[in-house]
């Protein structure tokens, strides 16, 4: 089956002639006027149509700059090996005040080497002209379809953002890894810094805190990418499909006696889910969310919810006597839930089977069409004993 993945490629405008630089500048500035309410700003007509959307979607503050939205049918990027000035050129739609109408200019751009393959024959959708540190960039949004396998040998279940950024466990033998505690450390470090700065001079402090915020989010984002890379590499080793706990809805915490969404405060959960899904799909691997409701308080071994979390980081089952690492238990439940409740298969008995050669996980349906699931938690995985692949 196929999945669509989206990558943003940042290309830099360079060597602009004075005339082209003025036209870019003028278009950008007219766009700012328009999104802040000036109905008479002269813009390329397709670009002008976008201003209303920006206004209603973002309701931008007066003192902010908004990237110019470039409609995909008005832009083109081309590779010209023979030109002296640049090997990549971008066709940018602008309003031409001399001719008093829309026009297009070809501007030289630099494309990061690692991204050049993305621009060859991918579908480019609506993109943005951005002004940053005195330079012009276009953020090209490239969409492409990638093939993901529908047969796997194992399930890698991922529980995100409890104590660690992610805890991953294989369904077949419960081999578990803990990934990237850094986010919490980064968060705490900056929290302390902000506190100490806040006590100093207020105005200067505000500026420093803003800069800290940028640095913090870059550090965190880098860490999320690292963890996602680790998870995908781990899944690849065993040819496993990735499933992760989806926090749709809040969990009821018996210990606390209230509904909690503490995970969301600890780390950018949605961002992590997006990065992981993206990297997994690029690796030709399916990556599916599983409702993680109740997975932390359920015993992975016997399914009982008569459990206790009295000891920090442990879960104890009052019915079967399990005493296990709480995160490992949660991840195991996510893996089990992905497979579905009523499937008789070696893998569905988590941890019981280590030596079942050729056991395969098969995704239901073809062409990305999932069959209706039996239960809301079932994400459409079936297990079968296949013959070993040649
Ligand atoms: Zn139990």
- What is the overall mean pLDDT for the chain? 80
Instruction: With both helix axes pointing from N to C terminus, report the angle between 182-199 and 202-237 in degrees, rounded to the nearest 10.
Output: 180
DSSP-derived pairing of the beta strands 287-291 and 240-246: parallel
Q: Comparing 205 with 242, which gets the higher pLDDT?
A: 242
Residue 4, SS3 per DSSP: strand
CA–CA separation, 319 and 299 (whole Å):
9
In terms of domains, do 213 and 346 share one?
yes
CA–CA separation, 136 and 92 (whole Å):
12
Q: Using 50, 70 and 90 to split pLDDT, how confident is the model at 226?
A: very high
Q: How far is the CA of 329 from the centre of ligand 1 (A)?
A: 10
Predicted confidence (pLDDT) per residue in 63-95, tens digit = 889 999 999 999 999 998 877 888 999 999 999
Given a cut of 80, is residue 374 above it in pLDDT? no
Q: How far is the CA of 336 from the centre of ligand 1 (A)?
A: 14
Per-residue model confidence (pLDDT) at position 23:
97
Q: How far is the CA of 169 from the centre of ligand 1 (A)?
A: 18
Predicted confidence (pLDDT) per residue in 109-124, tens digit = 999 988 888 887 678 8
Would residue 273 count as lying in a domain? yes
Would residue 164 count as lying in a domain? yes
Per-residue model confidence (pLDDT) at position 213:
72
In terms of domains, do 82 and 172 share one?
no
Residue 48, SS3 per DSSP: helix
> Rounded mean pLDDT of 286-314?
89
From 118, 147, 176, give the residue that closes a domain: 147
The DSSP annotation for 163-186 comes to SSSEEEEETTT--EEEE-THHHHH
Per-residue model confidence (pLDDT) at position 222:
86
Q: How far is the CA of 307 from the centre of ligand 1 (A)?
A: 8
In terms of domains, do 141 and 199 share one?
no
Asked if residue 56 lies in contact with residue 45, where contact means CB atoms within 8 angstroms, the answer is no
Q: How far is the CA of 289 from the centre of ligand 1 (A)?
A: 25
Q: How far is the CA of 259 from the centre of ligand 1 (A)?
A: 24
In terms of domains, do 50 and 19 share one?
yes
Q: How far is the CA of 295 from the centre of ligand 1 (A)?
A: 13
- Start-to-end CA distance of the chain, whole Å, equals 21
Average the pLDDT over each of 30-34, 47-51, 263-267, 382-386 and give the range with the smallest value: 382-386
CA–CA separation, 58 and 290 (whole Å):
31
Given a cut of 60, is residue 304 above it in pLDDT? yes
DSSP-derived pairing of the beta strands 240-246 and 154-160: parallel
| Residue 218 CB neighbour total at 10 angstroms | 10
CA–CA separation, 316 and 320 (whole Å):
9
Token look-up 């832009």 returns: 75
From 147, 175, 205, give the residue that closes a domain: 147
Per-residue model confidence (pLDDT) at position 253:
54
Query: pTM higher than 0.75, yes or no?
Result: no
Q: What whole-number percentage of the chain has pLDDT above 70?
A: 76
Per-residue model confidence (pLDDT) at position 263:
54
Per-residue model confidence (pLDDT) at position 195:
77
CA–CA separation, 245 and 230 (whole Å):
17
Q: What whole-number percentage of the chain has pLDDT above 90?
A: 44
DSSP-derived pairing of the beta strands 76-79 and 68-70: unpaired
In terms of domains, do 116 and 209 share one?
no
In terms of domains, do 79 and 160 share one?
no
Q: How far is the CA of 316 from the centre of ligand 1 (A)?
A: 8
In terms of domains, do 14 and 113 share one?
yes
Q: How far is the CA of 303 from the centre of ligand 1 (A)?
A: 6
> Per the structure, how many domains does the chain have?
2
Beta bridge partners of 252: 259
In terms of domains, do 342 and 268 share one?
yes
How many residues belong to the chain? Answer: 390
Would residue 364 count as lying in a domain? yes
Predicted confidence (pLDDT) per residue in 134-176, tens digit = 999 999 999 889 999 878 888 999 998 767 889 999 998 999 9
74: domain range? Answer: 2-147
CA–CA separation, 263 and 253 (whole Å):
12
In degrees and rounded to multiples of 5, residue 138 shows phi and psi of -115, 130
In terms of domains, do 312 and 351 share one?
yes
């Amino acid at each position: 089956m196929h999945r669509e993945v989206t990558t943003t490629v940042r290309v830099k405008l360079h060597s602009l002639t004075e005339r082209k630089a003025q036209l870019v500048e003028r278009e950008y500035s007219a766009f700012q006027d328009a999104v802040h309410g000036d109905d008479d700003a002269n813009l390329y007509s397709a670009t002008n149509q976008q201003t209303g959307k920006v206004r209603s979607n973002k309701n931008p503050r007066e003192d902010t700059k908004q990237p110019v939205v470039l409609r995909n049918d008005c832009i083109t990027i081309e590779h010209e090996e023979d030109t002296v000035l640049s090997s990549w050129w971008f066709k940018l739609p602008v309003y031409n005040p001399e001719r008093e109408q829309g026009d297009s200019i070809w501007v030289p751009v630099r494309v990061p080497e690692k991204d050049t393959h993305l621009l060859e024959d991918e579908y480019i959708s609506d993109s943005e002209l951005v002004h940053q540190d005195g330079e012009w960039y276009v953020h090209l949004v490239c969409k492409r379809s990638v093939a993901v396998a529908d047969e796997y040998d194992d399930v890698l279940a991922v529980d995100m953002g409890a104590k660690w950024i992610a805890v991953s466990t294989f369904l077949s033998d419960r081999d578990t890894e803990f990934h990237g505690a850094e986010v919490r450390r980064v968060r705490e470090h900056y929290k302390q810094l902000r506190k100490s700065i806040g006590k100093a001079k207020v105005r200067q402090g505000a500026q420093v805190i803003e800069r800290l915020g940028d640095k913090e989010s870059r550090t965190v984002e880098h860490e999320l990418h690292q963890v996602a890379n680790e998870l995908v590499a781990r899944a690849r080793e065993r040819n496993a499909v990735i499933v992760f706990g989806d926090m749709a809805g809040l969990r009821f915490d018996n210990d606390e006696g209230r509904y909690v969404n503490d995970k969301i405060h600890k780390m950018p959960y949605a961002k992590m889910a997006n990065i992981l899904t993206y990297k997994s799909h690029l690796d030709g691997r399916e990556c599916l969310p599983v409702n993680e409701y109740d997975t932390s308080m359920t015993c992975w071994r016997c399914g009982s919810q008569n459990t206790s979390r009295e000891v920090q980081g442990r879960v104890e089952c009052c019915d079967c006597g399990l005493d296990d690492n709480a995160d490992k238990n949660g991840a195991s439940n996510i893996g089990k839930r992905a497979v579905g409740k009523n499937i008789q298969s070696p893998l569905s008995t988590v941890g019981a089977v280590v030596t079942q050669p050729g056991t395969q996980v098969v995704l239901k349906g073809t062409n990305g069409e999932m069959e209706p699931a039996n239960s809301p938690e079932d994400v459409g995985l079936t297990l079968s004993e296949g013959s070993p692949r040649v």
